[in-house]
Structure 1
Amino acid sequence: MNGSRILRKVRRALLLCACAVLGLRTLSALDPNHTIGQYIATRWSSRDSFPGGTINAIAQTPDGYLWIGAENGLVRFDGISFRLFDHANTPTLPPGHVLGLVVDSEGVLWVRMESPYLLRYREGRFEQTYPVELPPPFSPDRERGATAVARGVRGDILIAPPNGPLRYRAGKSTPLVSSGSAAGLAMSIAEAAEGAVWIGMRDTGVYCVRAGRASQVTGLPDQKVNALLPGTGAELWIGTDSGLVRWDGYGITDRGVPGPLARSPILALARDRDSNIWMSTPAGVARIDSNGVAIQGTAGSVPGAVRAIFEDREGNLWFGGTTGLMQFRDAPFLTYTGVAGEGGSV
Structure 2
Amino acid sequence: MRIPPVICALIVLITLIPVPARAAARQADERWHSFTTANGLAGNIVQAIWQSPSGALWFGTENGVSRYDGTAWASYRTADGLLDANVWAISGDAASVWFATSSGLSRLDAIGWRSFTVADGLPGNDVRAVLVDTSGNVWAGTFGQGIAVLRPGAERWQSLAAWPGAFVQAIWQARSGDVWFGTNGLGALRLRAGRVEQFSFRERNRNTVWSIGETARGDVWLASFQGLVQVRDDTSVVLADERVDGVDLAAVEALAVVGDTTGDLWFATRAQGLLRRSATGWQRIRSGAGLTHDYVQTIFVDRSDRLWFGTRGGGVSMRDARPLQVAALRPAISVVNVSDGVTVRRDGQVFEAVQNDLRFHFALAVPWLPPHEVAFRYWLTSTGTASDAQLVRSAAQAPAQAASEVAVDLPPASYTLHVQALVADTPAA
Relative to the length of structure 2, the TM-score reads 0.60
Letter in 2 for 1:208: R
Letter in 2 for 1:308: T
Q: For 1:156 and 1:195, how far apart are their aligned partners in 2? A: 12
Contact 2:123–2:145 under 8 Å retained in 1: no
Q: For 2:257 and 2:159, how far apart are their aligned partners in 1? A: 24
Q: Which residue of 2 aligns with 1:34?
A: 27
Q: For 2:219 and 2:207, how far apart are their aligned partners in 1? A: 19
Change (3 A) 1:150 1:118: same
Structure with bigger RCO (C-alpha 8 Å, 6+ apart) = 2
Contact 1:59–1:102 under 8 Å retained in 2: yes
Letter in 1 for 2:138: I
- State the Cα deviation string for residues 99-136 of structure 1 (Å, max 9, x = none): 111123x3521111121x212211161222x336169x
User: Aligned with 1:263: secondary structure?
Assistant: coil
Find the partner of 1:287 among 265, 268, 276.
276
Are 1:169 and 2:157 counterparts? no
Q: For 1:64 and 1:194, how far apart are their aligned partners in 2? A: 23
Bigger CA radius of gyration: 2
What is the Cα deviation at residue 235 of structure 1?
Answer: 4.3
Superposition pairs for residues 1-346 of structure 1, below 5 Å? 31=25, 34=27, 39-88=30-79, 90=80, 92-104=81-93, 106-115=94-103, 117-123=104-110, 125-128=112-115, 130-131=116-117, 133=119, 143-154=124-135, 156-161=137-142, 162-172=144-154, 175=158, 177-178=160-161, 180-181=162-163, 183-220=165-202, 222-230=206-214, 235-248=219-232, 249-254=234-239, 260-281=248-269, 282-289=271-278, 291=279, 293-300=281-288, 301-304=290-293, 305-322=295-312, 323-330=314-321, 332=323
Q: For 1:303 and 1:237, how far apart are their aligned partners in 2? A: 25
C-alpha RMSD of the superposition: 3.3
Relative to the length of structure 1, the TM-score reads 0.73
What is the Cα deviation at residue 27 of structure 1?
Answer: 6.1
Q: For 1:47 and 1:74, how far apart are their aligned partners in 2? A: 15
User: Aligned with 2:249: secondary structure?
Assistant: helix
Contact 2:214–2:221 under 8 Å retained in 1: yes
User: What stretches of structure 1 of length at least 5 have no aligned partner?
Assistant: 1-23, 136-140, 334-346
Q: Which residue of 2 aligns with 1:138?
A: none
User: Aligned with 1:188: secondary structure?
Assistant: strand
What is the Cα deviation at residue 240 of structure 1?
Answer: 0.8
Contact 1:29–1:315 under 8 Å retained in 2: no
Q: Percent of aligned pairs with the same residue?
A: 23
Q: For 1:318 and 1:25, how far apart are their aligned partners in 2? A: 23
Structure with the higher fraction of residues in helix conformation: 1
Change (3 A) 1:41 1:250: same
User: Aligned with 1:262: secondary structure?
Assistant: coil
What is the Cα deviation at residue 86 of structure 1?
Answer: 0.8
Q: For 1:134 and 1:155, how far apart are their aligned partners in 2? A: 18
Change (3 A) 1:240 1:29: farther
Structure with the higher fraction of residues in strand conformation: 2
